[in-house]
Structure 1
């Protein structure tokens, strides 16, 4: 995989600086340690760091077409580049390399900005059109590859693969966006297109943008959207058969590489499905697999991974890490640049570190829960929706508000007795309820947490606006599809794919994700909801289709996730660090938070009267960001 960066002087007043462009490129060395190069003229500068995967000998970038009237920098892989190349050759185009990079560039020369619609894969790229004096930038449909951009006050447009790339530019303002702070504490990440800085934006998945000399802002357009509009009508047996054929094809096209290739194997359904497909395709050649184990049974899935290893005779590598593997906390701020609170970033970092010892490319099962409704919250939300349907809307709020207010908050009790949060969700409409279920810091706690002055700065803004914006474009049939859609537009790119991109790139490892191949995903969205979630069984049709390929215990065991014991850490080895960071660090000095509430949340968790582990982790990550930027 690679890193890209660029500077475009749109007004003719601030030519790109070679030293600044070099600094932008060098800060992302980890994304492409094999090669690095820049191109610069009086208006535009393009930079690239390369991790060589395909066409190792001739795929250097920035890459120019033969006429040298167009140049590209590209991060990603386009899996249908060979068929596109043949089509372009038939149209008279000549190629100097065998790379997918040149195919993207020649496709642009043939079909213009619409060419992005022909690409199948993961990508973020920028093309400079010398004749039109125009920059074209695009990001893949699901957001597998990142793209940050900013329009500076001096008229320069800058972009890069990571936020730290833009931070190298001396003209970038680093004013924090207060709305991004609200989004972060609600979601645990900052959803597209916002970033922690007011002047920096993420290009949303499925979007492209263009900017000509003289323009004061880019033109941004959506070229692809997630759809649930059409539904399959064939039998369940026929759907399962086609599903496996389509998945096999999505895996097969991702096995092309000129470097060692393998797969993550957690022991869950999705990664096991990918390994099964790889084993069938590769035949007698064993699949390279890797797993991370934990020294605490409740977090350790390696026994299930071993079932798949035994079945397919994979060449397996496993390492057991300590459940107190919290040394990475301070590194996470540097890795993710802006506040990011998914604690599974720690084991993800470790499994990428392990994989890179043997391979350069790894296939992952990420996306299966979004595509086939596999999260626990999907089941809970649909149960709540059923209850809501039985209670008239006029009665819903007073009844469940009363129960939510007076039912005790028993964090210490077994889950079936912790009904307070459920009552609070039931009084809300579907969007607000789903946000309540997902929130790192729920509404009521954020209301307590924020200082009066920060609430005034927010001006009534609420993170629910993120869901409302996306829900306005939803074209599906039912409540389950709506929350799947919201996941695909927010959680998948903002949390899951961000986590994997930064953790893998930290080790110069490319990760490919067949389950969110856009053709496979769009077809899977046509599967009726009752085939996906059946009672408490999420991913029902996917599991059923995999029964001939995977052990029953892998398919139908309880979902464990890929977490770490943060609540235990904060009551044990990290309690002093927690107090120091939250109660005596920059959180207190920021003016955003109520000091008494911070103190209550920290001490209440440490003494065991409250369960605030997830919220405190978000605060630790925010504090780490503040430390990084000061």
Structure 2
């Protein structure tokens, strides 16, 4: 795992300032503390920070082809590189290293832009071909590895693994995109391809970007998408057998390493399945790492311990105090953009723990999206049955009125909390799903934002993100549609972003066997009843793992990686909330309705409402303004 960055002159061959390139590269030192390298020639500069995982002695970057005309900087892993080497050798290419990075160089020479279609892995890379006067950028299919870019007013094109490397250049304007703010307060992150700054963009997952000197910057090109065909006639028994075989292969590929390797073990189904299969593939005990919480309501470390004991792993457990909220400013600096998933705190801590024992850790991320594990999926399917019974023309006015009139009863038993359901019934399937997952739903954002900010939005609404993806989903199956939406939005913008920044902060490489694209493609051929059957999510995964894991791990209620926000904001963080949300920084932006901010804080403090998620989202936005916007230009 590494950090990449670079500068490309799209208009000519002006000299690249080495000091600026070095500063951009060193801003990502945490991503690759082992060594750094740069390549500079007229009109081009490439930078790389290395965390050595494979080919420790000769895998330095930038890495070149035989005559030095092709150069690459690469972040990630190509898991099938050993299969590609013989094929490239047969085509006449010569290898000087044993690294997966060199495969990229020769694959480009052999197959051009289509090279990415041959790679199985997580990656973001930039490749320079001097003979073609071409810069080629690519990102993996599921967006595990990040890649930001920006075209400056003077024609300089910047790119980097993290937004901070672009900021370190000094030429990127810190001008916030109001549309990105709208997305953030709805989703808790800024959705691809947008970035928080107007000049910057994220390269979307499964896309490439080709730049030729003297030509206008084109649009990214998509090279892969998942299709939910749901047409696989396989039986449950055979599906369990094939799933186990596919998981073993995916995990085996991700266990290739020349440095200490282990796994996260939360005690949930996904990470427990990964550890159980790793144990069967390893000649030595697997290293496992878990975080426990002093508050038993948030602690599932006992279930992790049961799995660790069953497979006799080298288990490492850290107990984190439930009031572990000192990371707010650290996270704001780490993520560069506003980011509101509070589970970033325990994720940061488990990465910190893991790095004491291993350099590479396998995770269970991606399982909920592909196997149908989220509780919200089951709730959505229940609502879909009701929506199917009445046409939208009747539902919208009827349930719209009920939703507006019904009180928001956070204090009441769940069966009486019908406001969200009524609001969802008044919407289309896609609108309802967005409504259900939004942190501040549309009516709340309407009250949150000032008239000045709404004017700056120009009518833009986050629903455009979901409508765009839904139009390309290629399925009207209720579960498959929202799985597709999550693969395009939540998995990339929230889960992968969280794990990448938290792990790279500690120079830890995290690998994702449940996000193997071939596995995701196969799962998309299975009928949705293989994911959710009755009220049981992850049906197929759990059935396949029954011989390997105890029932109380497989079939217990999902807990998640949560922190006690509601209690924090009424207790130890009460004063900080007052100062941050009702202070001058948010007020001076002119974007927020102060009366509504006061309502959020007051109603939460007196216990009449649970606004903890909204307050955390505002708290992290204020921390972003303070730690990134006001950080000033680099020295």
Tell me the TM-score range normalised by the shorter chain: over 0.9
After superposition, give the CA deviation of every residue in 1:376-431 in whole Å (9 maximum; x if it has no partner).
11011111101111223222122212321222211112222211111111111111
- Aligned residue number for residue 258 of structure 2: 258
1:156-555 paired onto structure 2 within 5 Å = 156-229=156-229, 231-283=231-283, 285-555=284-554
Q: Write the distance in 2 (CA, Å) between the matches of 1:414 and 1:105.
A: 60
Partner Cα separation in structure 1 for residue 405 and residue 11 of structure 2: 61
1:168 aligned counterpart, secondary structure: helix
Between the aligned partners of 2:270 and 2:55, the Cα distance in structure 1 is 30
Alignment partners' CA distance in 1, 2:285 and 2:566: 39
1:511 aligns to what SS in structure 2?
A: strand
Note the 1:619-630 alignment, pairs <5 A.
619-628=618-627, 629-630=629-630
1:347-383 superposed Cα distances (whole Å, 9 cap, x missing partner): 0000000000000000000000000110011011111
SS of alignment partner, residue 179 of structure 2: helix
Kindly state the Cα deviation for residue 230 of structure 1 after the two structures are TM-superposed.
5.3
C-alpha distance in 2, partners of 1:170/1:544?
54
Cα deviation 1:240-272 (Å, max 9, x = unaligned): 110110011000010000000000000000000
Deviation at 1:580, TM superposition (A): 0.2
Check whether the contact 2:332–2:623 (CA below 8 A) recurs between aligned residues.
yes
Shift of the alpha carbon at 1:476? 2.5
> Any conservation in 1 of the 2:137–2:209 contact (CA below 8 Å)?
yes
* 1:436-477 residue CA offsets vs partner (Å, 9 max, x unmatched): 110010111100011011111111111000000101111125
Within the alignment, does 1:37 sit opposite 2:37 as a pair?
yes
2:633 corresponding residue in structure 1: none
For residue 249 of structure 2, give the secondary structure of its aligned residue in structure 1. Answer: helix
Note if contact 1:585-1:623 (Cα within 8 Å) is conserved in structure 2.
Answer: no
Contact kept, 8 Å, 1:264 with 1:364, in 2: the verdict is yes
The 8 Å contact of residues 14 and 155 in structure 1, kept in 2 or not, is answered as: no
Query: How far apart, in 1, do the equivalents of 2:393 and 2:507 lie?
Result: 55
CA-CA distance at 1:220 after TM superposition: 1.7
Secondary structure of 1:126's partner? Answer: strand
Which segment is superposed worse, 604-613 or 386-395?
386-395
Which SS does the other structure have where 2:137 is aligned?
strand
Task: Name the CA distance, whole Å, in 2 between partners of 1:443 and 1:128.
Answer: 44
Contact map agreement 1:373 1:538 (CA 8 A) in 2: yes
Q: Is the 8 A contact 2:193 2:204 kept in 1?
A: yes
Residue aligning to 1:57: 57
Cα deviation, residue 113, structure 1: 1.1
Q: After the TM superposition, which residues 67-82 of structure 1 pair with which residues of structure 2 at under 5 Å, given as runs?
A: 67-82=67-82
Q: Distance in 2 between matches of 1:423 and 1:305?
A: 39
Quick check: 1:155–1:216 contact (8 Å CA) kept in 2? no
Deviations 1:157-202, CA, capped at 9 Å, x for gaps? 1100000000011221121100000000010001100000010000
TM-score (norm. length: structure 2)? 0.98
Match of 1:148 in 2: 148
Structure-2 separation of matches of 1:61 and 1:48: 6
Contact 2:207 2:223 in 1 (8 A): yes
Conserved? CA contact 1:228–1:477, under 8 Å: no
Please name the residue that 1:131 is paired with.
131
SS in 2 for 1:210: strand
Aligned equivalent of 2:104: 104
Quote the Cα distance in structure 1 between the aligned partners of 2:431 and 2:411: 26
Q: Contact 1:6–1:44 at 8 Å: present in 2 too?
A: yes
Structure 2 match to 1:11: 11
Give the number of aligned pairs.
629
Distance, in Å, in 2 between the alignment partners of 1:221 and 1:392 is: 38
DSSP-derived class of the 1:599 partner: helix
| Distance in 2, Cα, partners of 1:45 & 1:212 | 15
CA distance in 1, matches of 2:158, 2:16: 10
CA–CA separation in structure 2 for the residues paired with 1:603 and 1:13: 58
Task: Name the CA distance, whole Å, in 2 between partners of 1:581 and 1:393.
Answer: 42
Contact 1:279–1:312 (Cα < 8 Å) also in 2 = yes
1:600 corresponding residue in structure 2: 599
Structure 1, unpaired ranges of 5+: none
Q: Is the 8 A contact 2:351 2:503 kept in 1?
A: yes
Structure-1 separation of matches of 2:106 and 2:282: 32
Looking at structure 1, the residues matched to 236 and 230 of structure 2 have their Cα atoms a distance apart, in angstroms, of 16
Query: 1:49 aligns to what SS in structure 2?
Result: strand
For 1:95, the equivalent position in structure 2 comes to 95
Once residues 397 and 523 of structure 1 are traced to their aligned partners in structure 2, the CA distance between those partners, rounded to angstroms, is 37
What is the alpha-carbon root mean square deviation over aligned residues? 1.0
Counterpart secondary structure, 2:48: strand
Aligned-pair CA distance for 1:615: 0.5
TM normalised by structure 1 equals 0.99
- SS of residue in 1 equivalent to 2:220: strand
Superposed displacement of residue 14, structure 1: 4.2
- Secondary structure in 2 aligned to 1:259? coil
Given the alignment of the two structures, is residue 569 of structure 1 paired with residue 585 of structure 2, yes or no? no
Q: Note if contact 2:229-2:526 (Cα within 8 Å) is conserved in structure 1.
A: no
Q: 2:404 and 2:220 mapped to 1: Cα distance?
A: 45
Could you tell me how far apart the structure 2 residues matched to 1:392 and 1:55 are?
Answer: 60
Distance in 2 (CA, whole Å) between partners of 1:269 and 1:230 is: 23
The alpha carbon displacement at 1:219 in A equals 4.2
Aligned partners of 2:207, 2:15: CA distance in 1, in Å? 27
Contact 2:124 2:139 in 1 (8 A): yes
User: After superposition, what is the alpha-carbon deviation per residue over 1:533-552, rounded to whole angstroms, capped at 9, x for unaligned?
Assistant: 11211111111111011000
CA offset at residue 228 of structure 1?
A: 0.9
Distance 2:219 2:135 in 1: 11
Q: Distance in 1 between matches of 2:392 and 2:467?
A: 19
Moved more, 354-363 or 619-628: 619-628
